[in-house]
Structure 1
């Protein structure tokens, strides 16, 4: 196997020899515990993401050749493995110290876009595992692997997934399952809860060290501002608002928006009981564990805002005045509203955002009022085929509705709006197909891949990965993956067990 040329430099032939740094390891020892992963017996490869491998200058085969590294049985030459400490609010309640209970950061690879940290998830117990075993199971690992790459395909900020490696070692959840390890990538895995940890311990020196680290490595432009800590809060708040607007626009539900699962870079991280909206229900709860519906689809925007308030509280000793923290937080609502408005206009193929503002709000409200029970992804994808001048081609879209009179009334309003800006049908459909995905990771698709993988058939994982990396393309040979879910899918549940 030859060496890979990457941005003009020979990088590595496999993960073992990949040059690694670990800037987080330069922080004082109180921020983490150095430790080695716990080996798994008889590991096997499940899948590698070619696109994620390319980010670190390796081919899929070179990643696959590093199986012992992927599962944590071997450590790259320049690795500095560690588990980070943090705290957080879980389901709105202060949970105290948490930390990387089954994640171990082992280094960062240089890329043209900056360093990318590599982290094992499921590689064994750490001092922060509490009562847990430090393992992940194959079921949840497949879901995280596929959704990380699917979200990237959708253009939504996210951590990435390089690989899944499994073992037949038993892991006890509701039943005995088998263990797996995901190698995931992100510029940083620092969370809101990383700051809360030091704030609630009244350790402001450590709080400042962490804030300075994040600013210097990820927001260096803030050093020129009068109050870089206020600037940090404002930047994170804006990024979070934009990310959640993107979630809402594709019907994505995170499921566990605890402050320890919120990225300081505005990335979607920690894929547990997530889901994509199927039959539209604004109050849908994708996490069976969330009995009160705190993280329902309709609540995600306000929970994101609440989490930013929690971060603001943690940063207050550095920001100084509460008014300055509030000023940074005040960007959330307008940033979210503007981003969602932009996305909704694009999803409906409307190019004039301001000229019809009041009418457009009514159009959007009317659309969501008639959507309950209608497949979210198919509605927007089929909407691109609607003709602006007549209803002759409405059937594929109209057939999604039980109350077709309601759809007809809304479609007349929509056509008037299209005619007002002289919309050209073909051009509009092309533009809408670039923002309304045909393929999303429906729960039943993930479950089919999981069922096969548990029988050591990983072909469906590979097929789904390939499809979901290009969710806006027609891919007519894969039409069945865009179909309405089968009846049995309504009985699927996902929870915090993983």
Structure 2
């Protein structure tokens, strides 16, 4: 598949699946259509000077991450299996050439539309849009009546914006940083796509950069909502030849901030166990995030521990986690807020544990599994999968996966090299 895209803010006209082969589509027994895609299968017409290969390290990272996000309820492509070999592949070091079999509802990216737009192939652009709508957006309310018109394309574009904004709100609430949000890495369906130097936040840091190649911090954790908006703008620009009334594009794009804010607010209130939103909740959430940032508190452990609040033991555990003078005032405010909550403590605590995972794919856990796999031992991957497929459960035999990472585990550098 050929496409183009904006990479780190600059347009690159020469992209495409340089190491990917789209094998075809299949429909499963439930009627769902899936693309089968080999990642790392060898050179393609778009490999340029690359070898078309992937390495075991990156394949395992995508395999684990895509399954981790899926079981957190975050839209994503899936990974069916990894095949490795003795074929040497040269990156920073010599690594084992491997292939990932990826499943996706579609492999169409924002960058596909950009490719036809910037090459002024407007008939092909319309053909791609009509195909995408027919395959994946035809069941939207009223689409059958307006397909192929300004209203139909606006409906399509608006839905892409809604899915993208909602996806990024889910990333933010889960503490997930993608790392390379180029437009060619954006799925038209709003699925998490193209895993590279991603990372779940350990110690909370608004400005967390998971990709050590991102020297300017363009794709830092705090930037992801704005980048999602910017990328949707680039898609809107690429769709302009389809519209007689270009203002419809801007009207659709203008909805992004509100959609994102509503989705993110709802997710954060769920994490706090709050049933209904009240005016002061925005301050409650922002004060908490600032507290976590200032104290470098472990994001996942904090919310999981808070799920047992209130109790003396929980307060002590939170104090150990946060160790900041602002914690006590915030907990007092939170406790007062809970008095207005219609849920009793037991129901609230149960709900909070259903949205605040005990287990996430921390970088150091993935790294340990990779190092063992490179020596032929895949058992650690299986152990990790036990908790990643049910991250909200207790798993008493795997408690060590829920612990704070060691200091070395917080400092791992991950790049785009794969």
Is TM (by shorter chain) over 0.5?
yes
Alignment of 1:28-107 (within 5 A): 84-107=1-24
Provide the residue aligned with 1:69 in structure 2: none
Provide the residue aligned with 1:184 in structure 2: 102
User: What is the Cα deviation at residue 113 of structure 1?
Assistant: 4.3
Provide the residue aligned with 1:110 in structure 2: 27
Provide the residue aligned with 2:73 in structure 1: 155
Cα separation, 2, equivalents of 1:248 and 1:96: 30
Cα separation, 1, equivalents of 2:188 and 2:78: 16
Alignment of 1:358-373 (within 5 A): 359-372=280-293, 373=296
User: What is the Cα deviation at residue 490 of structure 1?
Assistant: 2.8
Alignment of 1:457-472 (within 5 A): 457-472=377-392
**2:247 matched to 1:323?**
yes
Provide the residue aligned with 2:302 in structure 1: 379
Cα separation, 1, equivalents of 2:212 and 2:370: 19
Provide the residue aligned with 1:493 in structure 2: 413
Aligned residues: 409
**2:359 matched to 1:439?**
yes
Gaps of 5+ in 1: 1-83
Provide the residue aligned with 1:236 in structure 2: 160
Q: Is the 8 A contact 2:86 2:97 kept in 1?
A: yes
Provide the residue aligned with 1:475 in structure 2: 395
Q: Is the 8 A contact 2:202 2:410 kept in 1?
A: no
TM norm structure 2: 0.96
SS across alignment from 1:292: coil
Cα separation, 2, equivalents of 1:431 and 1:392: 20
Q: Is the 8 A contact 2:306 2:314 kept in 1?
A: no
Deviation readout 1:141-163 (Å, 9 max, x if unpaired) = 10000001000000000000000
Would you identify which runs of 4 or more consecutive aligned residues in structure 1 move more than 6 Å?
Answer: none
Q: Out of 360, 365, 370, which is 1:450 matched to?
A: 370
Provide the residue aligned with 1:215 in structure 2: 133
Provide the residue aligned with 1:143 in structure 2: 61
Cα separation, 2, equivalents of 1:238 and 1:217: 18
TM norm structure 1: 0.81
User: What is the Cα deviation at residue 279 of structure 1?
Assistant: 0.3
User: What is the Cα deviation at residue 463 of structure 1?
Assistant: 1.3
Cα separation, 2, equivalents of 1:135 and 1:320: 44
Cα separation, 2, equivalents of 1:128 and 1:493: 28
Provide the residue aligned with 1:63 in structure 2: none
SS across alignment from 1:394: helix
Alignment of 1:257-268 (within 5 A): 257-268=181-192
Cα separation, 2, equivalents of 1:491 and 1:251: 17
Q: Which structure has the greater CA radius of gyration?
A: 1
**2:168 matched to 1:168?**
no
SS across alignment from 1:178: strand
Gaps of 5+ in 2: none
Cα separation, 1, equivalents of 2:297 and 2:209: 16
